[in-house]
Amino acid sequence: MVLKTEIVQQLRRIIKPGRILTKEADLVSYGYDASFGFYKPDVVLQVKNENEVSAVMKLANQLRIPVTPRGQASSLSGGPLPVKGGMVLDFSQWSKSLKIDSEDLVAVVSPGVITADLDDAAARYGLMYPPDPGSSHFSTIGGNLAENSGGPRCLKYGVTKDYVIGLKVVTPQGEVIRTGGRTVKNVTGYDLTKLIVGSEGTLGIITEATLRLLPRPLSTQTMMLTFDHFVDSGKTVTRILTSGILPAKVEMMDQASIRAVEAYQPQNLPVDAEAILLIELDGHPAAVADEAERIRSLAKAMAARSVKIAHSSEEARKLWKARKLVSPAIASKKPTKISEDATVPRSKIAEFCHRLQEIRNTYKIDLVVFGHVGDGNLHPNIICDKRNREEMKRVQKAIEEIFHAAIDLGGTLSGEHGIGTMKRAYMPWELSPVELDMMKRIKLAWDPNNILNPSKIFPAPDRSWCCRNEPESERQTRL
């Protein structure tokens, strides 16, 4: 085993000492993300440029030290957790470079840029960056690209991968490569850009991204539909989406989410309703007004109790604030929040809502359901206490049933949060051995020494639980 001091000395030749963190308090604070797990790194490096990343990777590859990239650690699947210890590469100190080219309709950004800052910068040119994860005010472009993040607006505009046309990437061996380019069309060779996007920091480290921008819509309209029955809200979504109208956003909050928000920061939501749908239409003002009226009559025909149309941008902002408050509101109910994002085809939304109600009753769990229902991407969240072993057994069973239900209905384990540590045990439920093997061979080709973000995505034979920390013995290095 190589001695820690020797390695830190070598790191000091690459990175200034103030940006090499080894104190216990720092290491502990880098051991978390927004998911369930905790794994402490041996050292944290606050990298500031591509040369540093490349030199660190060369050293790590030579010494076989695990490296885990980290944006703002808002991952809900354990992506930036250093499961095998080693080094965490923190991008938060990297100076944020954000260049908009309004003629090419692209932005060129560094990995630590906050997603909402990019959209704000694009707005100054009458443009927009459509992907808008709920975490857009704190998550980074690097993390968004690595997770292929989605968000409310992705219903109409597509997900992160649809906006990435070029990358600069540092490989696990420390080489710097470019993928794609600056043109919308580019079919030269294999599409390595698409391979890196969504690879959860396991194939390469993104150091620069060229992203597509779109003209900002001329107007938007927000509506709130209220339902006495949860399943009716699911049926209404399917009805709207097959009516020829494509809203920019259709988000759902079930009764538990509504009540949690009202208990946390009252927003005047109907606490006796079983569900509400928040809808945003965008486009030409005349088309938007017409579509809002059509949705109003569709919703009434589908048993909506009421339909509210926001009459000002302030009213619309308040309605969307309610949706944004769901996560903090439910997190304040109990110490542990497990956030799932099983996704089903749109025709199965109502059936999935029904199955979730059954799971809640069978396992007597505190299940809160909200999310990007227009994409079939619901976020069943389980609020629990990880110290309560009996409760956690029920929670574990419920999670498995949720995944079974989603896959049974033709859906997927993850619509946007990624697999990370949380869902790797369930990969064989969705992928065949041949499909998994193909992915493993890709990982081996990029990272033969398995140093970049190890223990993510791929199932390990003895790991069948997601609701607990994996043992310390999984660590392979102590620097």
- Selected range binding ligand FAD among 17-25, 58-66, 145-153, 401-409, rule: CB under 6 A: 145-153
Rounded distance between C-alpha atoms, residue 213 and residue 167, angstroms: 15
Residues 247-266 that bind ligand FAD (CB under 6 A): none
Least distance to ligand FAD, CB of residue 82, Å: 9
Contacting residue, 66, 86, 134, 234, with ligand FAD by CB under 6 A: 134
Residues 275-314 that bind ligand FAD (CB under 6 A): none
Least distance to ligand FAD, CB of residue 100, Å: 20
> Which amino acid makes up residue 174?
G
Q: Is 193 in the site for ligand FAD (CB under 6 A)?
A: no
Determine whether 437 is exposed, middle or buried from the number of CB atoms within 10 Å of its CB (0-12, 13-18, 19+).
Answer: exposed
Of all residues in the shown chain, the one whose CB is closest to ligand FAD is: 143
Rounded distance between C-alpha atoms, residue 469 and residue 466, angstroms: 8
3-state secondary structure of 290: helix
Characterise 436 by phi-psi region: left (phi > 0), alpha (psi -120 to 50), beta (else): alpha
Nearer to ligand FAD by C-beta: 146 or 237? 146
In terms of DSSP H, where are the helices of 124-191? Answer: 141-147, 154-157
Q: How far is CA 253 from CA 249, 368, 370, in A?
A: 13, 8, 4
Residues 315-374 that bind ligand FAD (CB under 6 A): 327
* 477 alpha-carbon distance from chain centroid: 29
| H or E, element range at 176 | strand 176-180
> Which amino acid makes up residue 209?
A
Nearer to ligand FAD by C-beta: 164 or 231? 164
Q: Is 416 in the site for ligand FAD (CB under 6 A)?
A: yes
Contacting residue, 31, 41, 69, 374, with ligand FAD by CB under 6 A: 69
Angle at 33 between CA 28 and CA 39, to 5 degrees: 45
Q: Is 133 in the site for ligand FAD (CB under 6 A)?
A: yes
Q: Is 423 in the site for ligand FAD (CB under 6 A)?
A: no
The pair phi, psi for residue 212, each rounded to 5°, is -80, 140
Whether residue 205 contacts residue 72, with contact meaning beta carbons closer than 8 Å, is answered with no
* Alpha-carbon torsion, ordered 271, 402, 133, 241, to 10 deg: -80
- Selected range binding ligand FAD among 63-71, 101-109, 122-130, 344-352, rule: CB under 6 A: 63-71
Contacting residue, 55, 67, 76, 240, with ligand FAD by CB under 6 A: 76
Rounded distance between C-alpha atoms, residue 359 and residue 376, angstroms: 18
Q: Is 109 in the site for ligand FAD (CB under 6 A)?
A: no
Name the nearest CA neighbour of 401 among 373, 374, 382, 420.
382
Whether residue 55 contacts residue 47, with contact meaning beta carbons closer than 8 Å, is answered with no
Least distance to ligand FAD, CB of residue 45, Å: 13
Count of residues in contact with ligand FAD, rule CB under 6 A = 36
Nearer to ligand FAD by C-beta: 135 or 238? 135
Nearer to ligand FAD by C-beta: 160 or 231? 160
Least distance to ligand FAD, CB of residue 84, Å: 13
Q: Is 151 in the site for ligand FAD (CB under 6 A)?
A: yes
Q: Is 91 in the site for ligand FAD (CB under 6 A)?
A: yes
The DSSP code sequence of 52-63 is HHHHHHHHHHHH
- Tokens matching residue 417: 């949060």
> Which amino acid makes up residue 406?
A
Nearer to ligand FAD by C-beta: 150 or 374? 150
Q: Is 205 in the site for ligand FAD (CB under 6 A)?
A: yes
3-state secondary structure of 304: strand
Rounded distance between C-alpha atoms, residue 278 and residue 265, angstroms: 18
Rounded distance between C-alpha atoms, residue 293 and residue 237, angstroms: 16
Strand partners, 136: none
Least distance to ligand FAD, CB of residue 235, Å: 24
Nearer to ligand FAD by C-beta: 79 or 172? 79
- Selected range binding ligand FAD among 184-192, 199-207, 439-447, 467-475, rule: CB under 6 A: 199-207
Least distance to ligand FAD, CB of residue 27, Å: 16
- Selected range binding ligand FAD among 141-149, 248-256, 262-270, 397-405, rule: CB under 6 A: 141-149
Overall residue count recorded for the chain in this entry: 479
The pair phi, psi for residue 153, each rounded to 5°, is -70, -10
Q: Is 142 in the site for ligand FAD (CB under 6 A)?
A: yes
Least distance to ligand FAD, CB of residue 436, Å: 19
Nearer to ligand FAD by C-beta: 142 or 376? 142
Q: Is 234 in the site for ligand FAD (CB under 6 A)?
A: no
Q: Which residues bind ligand FAD (CB under 6 A)?
A: 33-34, 68-76, 79-80, 91, 111, 133-135, 139-140, 142-144, 146-147, 149-151, 200-201, 205-206, 327, 416-417, 453
